Structure 1
Amino acid sequence: MANSPSGDSMTDRLVRVLETFTPTRTVQTTADIGRRADLPRSSAHRIVSELVVSGLLERDETNGVRIGMRLWELATRSSDALRLRQAALPLMERVQTRIREHTQLAILEQDEALFLERLSAPRSGANVTRIAGRLPLHASSSGLLLLAYADADTRGRVLARPLQRLTPDTIVEPDALRRKLDEIRILGHVVAPGYIEDVSTGVAVPIRAGGPRVVAALSVVLPRENDTEPALRELLSAARDIERSLRPHS
């Protein structure tokens, strides 16, 4: 792709435009997109208009811009994440029916926990997770589980950077975090009381696909005072069933 006068490529600019959309920022003006993507006004208008014509972005009745259905369509074709979500969803529904709080599925993506699915009951407790949203690896139960089973380079990057303390219980000291990751690998699960919200406890277990490599974290978020053992039993049972459904059929 040709470079702009500032030296960034068209691909860079397209990615920056798409990255301005978040799980909570779903509709924007073209001017807001340009500002957030650090683009000149004329470039922002041209790129947004071209993406609208292609169907990757759409305009609503107020001329606001949102992600287009064609982008969703392309993203879900032959996606490993979609296959994982499809395999997990029936078992997540079983967990949700029995626990009736929040049940979640997350993968490791660019040193964060990316959530593919979340199920919640009408009267569930607090939860900051959003579908297609991200949470830090060191603070969320899913993130800690994924970090514990990540490769050494990923763990090294996360442990080397300053870690944000989200609550008084968030682990931010590298040595303490290393000990927690060791504990997770020994136990095969994680319980994280108050790490990301004071009032909640996250419980997460690994999902593997045809080998030792962990491909996802299955988790629940409970009110902090709740007993975690029933949720852990349900998660471990569901994870085993998901793993069976991911195995290639002979």
Structure 2
Amino acid sequence: MTSSSGSSVTSKVLALLEAFTPDASELSLSELARRSGVSLPTAHRRAAELVEWGALERDADGRYRIGLRLWEVASLAPRGLGLRDAAMPFLEDLYEVTHENVQLAVREGLEVVFVDRIAGRDAVPVWTRVGGRFALHATGVGLVLLAHAPGEVQEEVLGSPLHGYTPKTVLDPAELRRMLADVRKLGYSVSDGQITVDALSVGAPIRGPGGEVTAAVSLVVHAGTAQPTALAPLVQAAARGISRSLAAPGTGRVFPSD
């Protein structure tokens, strides 16, 4: 269905949902209309429908926020659901051994999407959240996923302007190519101070039933407290365990250490 203005009802509903961000998780109706580019009357009608269905909730002050029903539906996404179920025992083991931040992520286009994480109480603060997105070139999981991405994805990322999060973020395409080659050779990635200067991340690839890299797991610690070579075997062991869990039952597939 398309409205008289040429914009479909669906696109307007999606624009309303896209208006919410981690920094704007609660919005008034006028804010919702302005951020989505939808007229105030249309925003009012569509928001009411979304509230009725449960995609949005409205508090006593009339402000809107994402509703639980939307989260319930999103949690059924097969790439996240099966992966999280398979990964959780190994993520928990990795956390128990280290009491540091443990993260699980997949690639969506040119970005990393975090599908699960365990945060250590005294661990280094991180910017990531479940459902959050980051560029591929700077995080531990992102470097793993980029290193194993199709060539055209790598070229698009390396050929685009790269965001520098800190002075240590690697922005030179030639240096990044060398880093990606090392990830494939060594079987793990290292992101040292590239997102925040006080954090060191070590990531490793998770393989699907066909042996393809489908996800990545990482450990994030305070920079300077451990050598990447000491953390890598722990992260790689978790990644291999998750990979075995994702393999078809009874195949007995043995995954390489990369």
Q: Does the pair score TM above 0.5? A: yes
Equivalent position of 2:164 in the other structure: 165
For structure 2, the 5+ residue unaligned runs are 251-258
8-17 or 201-210, larger mean C-alpha shift: 8-17
196-205 or 63-72, larger mean C-alpha shift: 63-72
Instruction: Label 1:172 to 1:4 Cα distance change in 2 as closer, same or farther (>3 A).
Output: farther
Instruction: Label 1:243 to 1:4 Cα distance change in 2 as closer, same or farther (>3 A).
Output: farther
Equivalent position of 2:57 in the other structure: 58
Q: TM-score, normalised by structure 2?
A: 0.91
Q: TM-score, normalised by structure 1?
A: 0.94
Structure 1 distance, partners of 2:40, 2:199, is 43
Equivalent position of 2:242 in the other structure: 242
Instruction: Label 1:94 to 1:4 Cα distance change in 2 as closer, same or farther (>3 A).
Output: farther
Runs of 4+ that moved beyond 4 A: none
SS in 2 for 1:53: helix
- % of aligned pairs identical? 38
Equivalent position of 1:95 in the other structure: 94
Structure 2 distance, partners of 1:70, 1:230, is 43
Aligned ranges 1:7-46 → 2 under 5 Å: 7-46=6-45
**Residue 146 of structure 2 corresponds to residue 147 of structure 1:** yes
Preserved contact between residue 48 and residue 57 of structure 1 (Cα < 8 Å): yes
Structure 1 distance, partners of 2:69, 2:126, is 30
Instruction: Label 1:49 to 1:92 Cα distance change in 2 as closer, same or farther (>3 A).
Output: same
Instruction: Label 1:87 to 1:225 Cα distance change in 2 as closer, same or farther (>3 A).
Output: same
Output the amino acid matched with 2:137.
H
Superposed CA deviations along residues 77-96 of structure 1, whole A, max 9, x for unmatched, are 36221110111111101101
Superposition RMSD in Å: 1.5
Aligned ranges 1:100-111 → 2 under 5 Å: 100-111=99-110
Deviation, 1:184, is 1.1
Aligned ranges 1:210-249 → 2 under 5 Å: 210-227=209-226, 228-249=228-249
Aligned ranges 1:71-86 → 2 under 5 Å: 71-77=70-76, 79-86=78-85
Structure 2 distance, partners of 1:177, 1:4, is 48
Instruction: Label 1:98 to 1:27 Cα distance change in 2 as closer, same or farther (>3 A).
Output: same
Aligned ranges 1:124-139 → 2 under 5 Å: 124-139=123-138
Preserved contact between residue 23 and residue 131 of structure 1 (Cα < 8 Å): no
Structure 2 distance, partners of 1:78, 1:113, is 16
Deviation, 1:158, is 1.0
Output the amino acid matched with 1:30.
L
